[in-house]
């Protein structure tokens, strides 16, 4: 992509502002039920599957809307989309707070899901890519450092609010945060105008012969990664308890994943810009596969396994934002992120239910084995993609 006008100033302010709103957006939506679900079940008498299923339906809506959202960011920039996300998440939370039937509850999650599609990582990455073009890599990495603290900040806040005010008022508080904090930040800090784009493609996007293959492989990698991490995030404690750990120990081990994510992102922030993002993706899928394989084969090394897994999970978010920018160029980056988000979010939505079925009918051991096979297959797919990515450079060097 060639920027034909001046780039927006004060990049650090834009990234920091998006970092704050990302923490609050994730905490208000994706991470909400981790704390609220038991209280909702106790208050309403609904099955836990129904309560958690609302989030899955919301993710399906987010995935279905992502291609349109990506195109909208490409055409108009991220400011109006991110502002709309704050309003939609707030509206969805208000509906959740007044839900007296499962139909109203699901409706609340459908609205929230639309807000998630317009406001979580893919939309934020697309916004940065649209603003800064091929120079957005460091901004994307910095944003993921903020995002890594979403559960750290919002889970304790949610627990305090639920205990003090109940789950319905907690939803209203988060709705207020979206309208009083996130919406003004998006409206005031995200640039109103975006640099015009020259039609000429640049970077590796010009390799049209392998464009389709790279897109399919990358979409598959992102989908399998999303499925793995979503399943693990929901069922990790169950899997650890099945491996012989007491609940308190399982919780302590699970708590290692978050700091490991942030630590790995800091390492990538320090050294990653020196290398092609394909290396980040290879590192991410390899760490995920190694962590799950160690947990399967040597549960006594669960501490090491979860640190490794957390590291892979952390840098996979960076690769999700930076690798498409490197492979396809910045000229259509926001729209491309929307297309890639569709299968990934669908996989993410389906994973908890798939995991529950595997655990119920096959046990924890079979579930871990399936995860190990999936992650190892993902490593193989990533190697195929790497071969395609680097083949042109090797061919050119040979011809010289």
pLDDT digits (tens, 9 = 90+) for 334-371: 888 999 999 999 998 898 888 888 888 888 899 999 99
Report the chain's mean pLDDT, rounded to a whole number. Answer: 87
- What integer pLDDT is reported at residue 209 of this predicted model? 55
Give me the percent of the chain exceeding a pLDDT of 70.
92
* Mean pLDDT in residue range 8-22: 86
Give me the percent of the chain exceeding a pLDDT of 90.
56
Residue 198 has pLDDT above 60, yes or no: no
For the chain, the structural domain boundaries read 11-189, 203-399
Q: Do residues 352 and 235 make contact, with C-beta atoms less than 8 angstroms apart?
A: yes
User: Residue 94: which pLDDT band, with cuts at 50, 70 and 90?
Assistant: very high
Q: Which of 10-19, 140-149, 193-202, 301-310 has the lowest mean pLDDT?
A: 193-202
* Mean pLDDT in residue range 35-61: 90
User: Residue 399: which pLDDT band, with cuts at 50, 70 and 90?
Assistant: very low
Q: Which CATH class is domain 11-189?
A: mainly alpha
* Mean pLDDT in residue range 294-302: 92
Q: Do domains 11-189 and 203-399 have the same CATH topology?
A: yes
Q: Which residues contact 367 (CB under 8 A, 6 or more apart)?
A: 235, 239, 355, 358, 359
- What integer pLDDT is reported at residue 204 of this predicted model? 44
pLDDT in tens, 306-315: 999 999 999 9
Q: How far apart are CA 282 and CA 309, in angstroms?
A: 14
Angle between helix 11-28 and helix 121-132 axes, rounded to 10 deg: 170
Residue 200 has pLDDT above 70, yes or no: no
Q: How far apart are CA 172 and CA 181, in angstroms?
A: 14
Query: Domain 203-399 in CATH: superfamily?
Result: MFS general substrate transporter like domains (1.20.1250.20)
Q: How far apart are CA 260 and CA 341, in angstroms?
A: 24
As a whole number of angstroms, the longest Cα–Cα distance in the chain is: 71
- What integer pLDDT is reported at residue 38 of this predicted model? 87
Q: Do residues 151 and 262 make contact, with C-beta atoms less than 8 angstroms apart?
A: no
Q: How far apart are CA 122 and CA 310, in angstroms?
A: 20
């Amino acid at each position: 992509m060639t920027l034909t006008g001046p780039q927006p100033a004060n990049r650090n302010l834009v990234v920091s502002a998006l970092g704050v709103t990302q923490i609050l957006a994730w905490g208000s939506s994706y991470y909400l039920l981790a704390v609220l679900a038991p209280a909702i079940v106790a208050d309403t008498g609904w099955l836990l599957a129904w309560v958690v299923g609302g989030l899955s339906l919301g993710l399906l809506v987010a995935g279905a809307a992502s291609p349109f959202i990506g195109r909208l960011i490409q055409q108009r920039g991220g400011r109006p989309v991110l502002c709309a996300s704050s309003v939609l998440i707030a509206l969805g939370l208000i509906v959740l707070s007044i839900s007296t039937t499962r139909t109203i509850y699901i409706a609340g999650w459908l609205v929230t899901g639309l807000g998630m599609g317009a406001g979580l990582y893919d939309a934020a990455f697309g916004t940065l890519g649209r603003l800064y073009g091929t120079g957005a890599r460091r901004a994307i990495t910095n944003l993921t450092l903020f995002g890594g603290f979403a559960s750290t900040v919002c889970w304790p806040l949610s627990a305090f609010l639920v205990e003090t005010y109940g789950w319905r008022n907690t939803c209203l508080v988060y709705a207020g945060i979206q309208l009083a904090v996130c919406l003004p930040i998006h409206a005031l800090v995200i640039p109103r105008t975006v640099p015009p784009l020259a039609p000429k493609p640049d970077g590796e996007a010009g390799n049209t012969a392998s464009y389709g293959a790279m897109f399919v492989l990358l979409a598959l990698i992102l989908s399998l990664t999303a499925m793995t991490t979503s399943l693990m995030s929901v069922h990790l404690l169950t899997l650890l308890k099945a491996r012989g750990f007491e609940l308190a120990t399982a919780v302590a081990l699970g708590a290692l994943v978050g700091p490991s994510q942030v630590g790995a992102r800091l390492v990538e922030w320090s050294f990653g810009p020196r290398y092609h993002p394909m290396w980040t993706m290879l590192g991410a899928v390899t760490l995920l596969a190694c962590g799950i394989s160690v947990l399967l084969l040597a549960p006594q090394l669960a501490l090491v396994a979860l640190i490794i897994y957390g590291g892979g999970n952390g840098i996979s978010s960076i690769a999700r934002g930076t690798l498409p920018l490197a492979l396809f160029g910045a000229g259509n980056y926001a729209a491309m992120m929307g297309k890639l988000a569709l299968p990934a979010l669908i996989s993410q939505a389906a994973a908890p239910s798939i995991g529950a079925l595997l655990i119920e009918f096959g046990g924890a051991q079979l579930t871990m084995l399936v995860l190990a096979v999936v992650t190892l297959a993902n490593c193989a797919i990533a190697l195929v993609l790497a071969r395609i990515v680097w083949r042109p450079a090797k061919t050119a060097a040979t011809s010289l």
